[in-house]
Amino acid sequence: AQKVTQAQTEISVVEKEDVTLDCVYETRDTTYYLFWYKQPPSGELVFLIRRNSFDEQNEISGRYSWNFQKSTSSFNFTITASQVVDSAVYFCALSEVYYQGGKLIFGQGTELSVKP
């Protein structure tokens, strides 16, 4: 069965600290996509990144970086030099390409609080 686990419910850091949000997934498929979404206090879901299962290259976008390791079924997200505006709930999600409908399966979310 497909499952996404974000073991960290809440993380609190002080501005400028680096922080890593963990995501572990389970799937029976060899082809799948992994996503990260940000949900700020306003409530919308903001797309951050999508990776497919064949691309294990780490990705960096500004202060954000992602580490995808198939061997450990993990897709972790690091924010470098965190800022107060990074405070939000972050969701990791999985989509199985060949599964009928292509739904997203979300983790429980990690609430990040960045204090000044």
Partner 1 sequence: EPEVTQTPSHQVTQMGQEVILRCVPISNHLYFYWYRQILGQKVEFLVSFYNNEISEKSEIFDDQFSVERPDGSNFTLKIRSTKLEDSAMYFCASMTDRGGPEAFFGQGTRLTVV
24-26 and 3-5 beta bridge pairing: antiparallel
Q: Does 91 sit near partner 1 (CB under 8 A)?
A: yes
Q: Does 103 sit near partner 1 (CB under 8 A)?
A: yes
C-beta of 76 vs 107, nearer to partner 1: 107
Q: Does 32 sit near partner 1 (CB under 8 A)?
A: yes
C-beta of 80 vs 108, nearer to partner 1: 108
Choices 17-25, 32-40, 61-69, 74-82 (CB under 8 A): range interacting with partner 1: 32-40
Closest CA to 23 of 86, 70, 87: 70
Among 47, 59, 69, 70, indicate the residue that binds partner 1 (CB under 8 A).
Answer: 47
- SS3 assignment for 71-82: HHCEEEEEECCC
Gap between the Cα atoms of 71 and 75, Å rounded: 11
